[in-house]
Amino acid sequence: MEFDWLFFCEVTLAGLGSGALLALTALAFVLIYKATKVVNLAIGEMLMVGAYLFFSFAAGFGLPVWLAIPLALIGGGLLGAIVERTIIRPMLGESAISVFMVTIGLGSVLVGLVEIIWGAAPTQLPDFMGTTPLFIGDAYVSRKIAIGFAVASIVIAAFVLAFRFWRGGVALRATATDQGAAYSCGIDVPKVFSAAWIVAGVAAAGAGILVGAVGGISPTMGVFGLSALVVVIVGGLDSIAGALVGGLIVGLVEAWSGTFIGGEYKLLATFGLLILILMVRPYGLFGTVEIERL
């Protein structure tokens, strides 16, 4: 039987689109880890809250999309600031596993709050992207997937440039490298921590809006964050470029395995890739190799 290259291209484009959304979510992971060395397992739930905030502003209050999106992003940033100030900052100096478990508990609390406020039933976000099909050559690609890919790519590219050239990005990199040295250079480390959580909250809220626009919203959509965790581990916990590359790789693997092998093998292929990469590069494709003196 002749191989259908057109269908393969369409599956690949869909995989790249979903991979870009994974990368945007992984970016929130990386921002927090780079600044505070905290693995935030509640990032999927923060994504979920951002999507529900947009739903409230757009559908509940009837605000136009151009206003509802910034308000939802601001709400995501405020959530990040509140979590950092009230939960994470008091945990400074505690063991990594303690903070890790706190983020797991935070995720459960956020799910409970969403179910209390908005209910447990899945729903759809107001359509603000349109449904006109897009074609790249003869290959069809979903308009929502294409827009999500474009937005995620632009945001990640902006963060890469900001961390390289913007003063705040340099301060965050310095803090991530050596907090004591950053203090001695006059960098306000607690402020850097807060900024990282705020920006990560904004990124998570934006990812939530895009993910919700594609697949709808529900209190269980936070599991998307677990896929993003795989992306972060594959790309490197402290690498923004790794988040992008890892997201695209995982998106392609999930799309190809789910389509050509079977949907039940998608997780097997994804975690098989994760194990393979960790065996070869334990710190991820672009992660910083840490050498400790004994």
Alpha-carbon gap, residue 25 to 228, rounded angstroms: 6
What is the pLDDT at residue 134? 82
Q: What is the pLDDT of residue 53?
A: 96
Per-domain residue ranges of the chain: 5-219
Tokens of 267: 């997780």
- Distance between CA atoms of residues 215 and 36, nearest Å: 32
* pLDDT score for 136: 80
pLDDT of residue 294: 45
pLDDT of residue 177: 67
Which residues, at least 6 apart from 256, have a Cβ–Cβ distance to it below 8 Å?
A: 11, 12, 15, 269
Cβ–Cβ < 8 Å for 35, 193: yes
What's CA 119's distance to the chain center, in Å?
Answer: 24
What angle in degrees, to the nearest 10, is found between the helix axes of 167-177 and 189-215? 110
- For the chain, 294 residues long, the average pLDDT of each consecutive 10-residue run is 78 90 90 85 94 95 93 96 92 83 93 94 88 79 85 85 77 72 78 89 93 91 86 88 89 90 84 89 80 50
What is the C-alpha to C-alpha distance for residues 10 and 259, in angstroms, rounded to an integer? 11
Residues 273, 250 contacting (CB under 8 angstroms): yes
